[in-house]
Amino acid sequence: MSANTPAEAAPGPSSNEPNPRGSETRGSIPVVDGAKLVRERRLNNAKKNWALFRSDVPALIGAVVLLFFIVIAIAAPLIAPASMLDVTKQLDVPRYAPPSLDHPLGTDDLGRELWVRILWGARVSILVGVAATVMSMIIGTIMGLAAGHFTGLFGGIIMRIVDFFIVLPSLLLAIVLSSVLERGVFTIVVAIGLTSWASTARIVRSQTLSVESRLYIERARILGAGHSHILFRHLLPAVMPLVLANTTLTVGGAIIAESTLSFLGLGDTSKESWGTILKNSMDVSAATSGYWWYVLTPGVAILLVVLAFTMVGRAFEAIINPALRSR
């Protein structure tokens, strides 16, 4: 064996105590809080991962873009008061004004500034995207862990439920849900969250199965561990990084789903969202009438946010899985 490791280079056991295991007899051990050591090591790991993230240029660009959209979404009422969306107060503004210095992103069919609509739309679009993703991740992780950990009838039933949601056309289900339930942002969140968790559950289940077969799970059982210890101490930490990376990648999908539903007129029509803007532009045939800014602006906003989430998500993935880094 390599002689440069401290233990094996040492001439022999250095303890002179007569009975190393009977710790009652040894007063020399300083009182150290073991849990603190563990916390410090985790903090160090987090720092290392942060350094890795910072060295990833696309991820940084993505993070900056995201931060920008989140800030403008939060600060929307300060930058552009809600009155700027009130059609009755825009009578003196030209309709369908192309982008210019006075109207940076142009105006719509009712004379509203598109940049104001994008600003306010960001609130709903990002909120729905994130909330629906969180919901789908929570359901997906719980179902995936359960399906992977419990074998037999219980695991089988859970997996059939997952299969059912996978084969269900998710857009169709979302449309049904949002037309049956009361209209509103919350309904959209539920509709998207309920339809998109199944693929997460599949990923989590396969990872759970692979971790489940590792010897250290068997070792935990030998030590006397029950289901809760194995689930929360070994399996959940093992699948968490995967879930996190998956989250950022799913947010993009959820934002697109929200836009789709709004575009189909199933969203909350009283609230601005990027999908609603797209729907309005469609209603007035903006694309064929030459009002390109009306279509392009919300489209580009969606593209930018989804792309930013994806770039950040890929960086997370690379941190979890070093094998991806060189690709």
Q: Which residues bind other proteins (CB under 8 A)?
A: 1-2, 5-8, 10, 12-15, 18-23, 26, 29, 31-34, 37-38, 41, 214-216, 218-226, 229, 233-234, 237-238
What are the backbone angles phi and psi of residue 158, rounded to the nearest 5°? -60, -40
Residue 95 or 233 having the CB closest to other proteins: 233
Q: Which is nearer to other proteins, 38 or 166 (CB)?
A: 38
| Number of neighbouring beta carbons within 10 Å of residue 289 | 12
Helix, strand, coil distribution of the chain in percent, nearest 5: 75, 0, 25
Residue placing its CB nearer to other proteins in the complex, 40 or 86? 40
**152-167 and 185-212 helices cross at what angle (nearest 10)?**
130
With respect to other proteins, which residue has the nearer C-beta, 36 or 182? 36
Give the span between the Cα atoms of 308 and 302, in whole angstroms.
Answer: 10
**Shortest Å distance, C-beta 156 to other proteins:** 16
Task: Tell me the two tokens of residue 292.
Answer: 């390109």
C-alpha distance from residue 221 to each of 138, 148, 227, 236, 303 (Å): 26, 16, 9, 16, 48
CB of 11 to other proteins, least distance (A): 8
By beta-carbon proximity to other proteins, the closer residue of 34 and 169 is 34
Cβ nearer to other proteins, comparing 1 with 323:
1
* Cα angle value 210/216/219 (rounded, 5°): 130
Q: Which of 257, 291, 289 is nearest to 274 (CA)?
A: 257
Question: Of 12 and 169, which has the nearer Cβ to other proteins?
Answer: 12
Angle at 129 between CA 125 and CA 130, to 5 degrees: 120
- Minimum distance of other proteins from residue 56's CB (angstroms): 18
Q: Please report how close the Cβ of residue 225 comes to other proteins at its closest, in angstroms.
A: 5
Q: How far is CA 132 from the centre of its chain?
A: 9
Q: Are 189 and 130 in contact (CB under 8 A)?
A: no
In whole angstroms, how close is the CB of 264 to other proteins at the nearest point? 45
Distance of closest approach, residue 229 Cβ to other proteins, in angstroms: 6
Residue 91 DSSP symbol:
T
Rounded to a whole number of angstroms, the minimum distance from the CB of residue 324 to other proteins is 17
Q: Residue 31 or 101: which CB sits closer to other proteins?
A: 31
Q: Dihedral of the CA atoms 69, 71, 75, 81 (nearest 10)?
A: -20
175 vs 161: CA distance, rounded Å:
20
Comparison of 223 and 323: residue with beta carbon closer to other proteins: 223
The least CB distance from residue 157 to other proteins, in Å, is 21
Closest distance to other proteins from the beta carbon of 155 (Å): 17
Contact 311, 64 (CB under 8 A): no
